[in-house]
Amino acid sequence: MSRARQTVTLTADLVILTIRDGVLSVLLVERENEPFQGRLALPGGFLRGDESLERTAARELAEETGLDAGALRLRQVGVYSAPDRDPRRPRVVTCAYLAIAPDLPVPVAGSDARAARWVPVAEAATAGLAFDHDLILADAVELARTLLQFSTIATAFCGPEFTIGDLREVYEAVWGVGLDKPNFHRKVTDADGFVVPTGGKRPSPSGRPAALYRAGGATELVPPMTRPRLGT
């Protein structure tokens, strides 16, 4: 019974999100070759010899951003296996991974010299990415939005030290909403193991300096952050 036991090529694609100037942005590379030459695409690469897909994704992440995949957590977004998703040839199946990064100084030029840059997600979605990367990006952003509700992952968007205001801006950028400052402050500082004060303060150009925090030990966020409902 070896009927149609087909072999395929596997890739791992990365959706690396960060916040730049208060705008949710994604790391994209410009394609050098056909198909989709000159179009923007998610960074990614082929599965190699003895790797799992997670390892492929971690390796690509290091190559594209210089970030240690051990520090950052990769989460599976999903598998994309439509037979014609790669026009070159059938049967290139990809698994997408989500990574959340602090605001990096600049995307490290990939070791493979591709021009990588941060693009606001809203812009990327309208511009039209290569392959089915529009769909992948949309799924990944939706996953990130959900993770913000139930996990403490928002701190991954921040540096090692941050203010509650910084954290609030993360939620506002990813969710695309405005949040009540006083209630947000209370909720975050009350949640167990979400943030812990470092004792330091960050002066502001004009106004009271904000206390600094670092990420706490918890991964799950209880009670969850409630995302404002639109339709209601």
Residues near DNA, by CB under 7 A = 163-165, 180-183, 185-187, 189, 201, 203-211, 223-224, 226, 228
| Cα three-residue angle 55-61-65, rounded to 5 degrees | 160
Closer residue to DNA (CB): 105 or 182: 182
Query: What DSSP string describes 37-59?
Result: TT-EE--EEE--TT--HHHHHHH
User: From a second copy, DNA, none, which one binds at residue 163 (CB under 5 to 8 Å depending on kind)?
Assistant: DNA
Question: Strand pairing partners for 25?
Answer: 18, 120
The amino acid at residue 63 is E
Min. distance of Cβ 222 from DNA in angstroms?
Answer: 8
> Quick one: which of 25, 23, 24, 116 has its CA closest to 66?
116
Residue 113 interface partner, choices a second copy, DNA, none, CB cut-off 5-8 Å depending on type: none
- Min CB(51)–DNA separation in Å: 41
Closest CB to DNA among residues 37, 204: 204
Which positions from 190 through 229 interact with a second copy, judged by CB under 8 A? 222, 229
228 binds, among DNA, a second copy, none (CB under 5 to 8 A by kind): DNA
Q: Binds 178, which of DNA, a second copy, none (CB < 5 to 8 A, cut-off by type)?
A: none
Closest CB 137 distance from a second copy, rounded Å: 17
Cα distances (angstroms) measured from residue 39 to each of 26, 33, 97 = 15, 9, 20
Indicate which single residue of 38, 46, 122, 160 sits in contact with a second copy (rule: CB under 8 A). Answer: 46
22 versus 49: smaller Cβ distance to a second copy: 49
Residue 111 binds to a second copy (criterion: CB under 8 A):
no
Using CA of residue 126, residue 131, residue 135, residue 138, what is the dihedral sign?
negative
Q: Which residues contact 60 (CB under 8 A, 6 or more apart)?
A: 12, 14, 43, 44, 45
Nearer to DNA, 48 or 181 (CB): 181
Report the nearest approach of a second copy to the CB of residue 184 (Å). Answer: 21
Q: Which of 174, 149, 163 is nearest to 227 (CA)?
A: 149
Question: 79-98: which residues touch a second copy (CB under 8 A)?
Answer: 79, 81-83, 90, 93, 95
Q: How does DSSP classify residue 230? A: S
Two tokens, residue 81? 């296996």
For β-strands 23-30 and 75-80, DSSP reports them as unpaired
User: Can you give the binding site for a second copy, defined by CB under 8 A?
Assistant: 1, 3-10, 46-54, 76, 78-79, 81-83, 90, 93, 95, 112, 222, 229
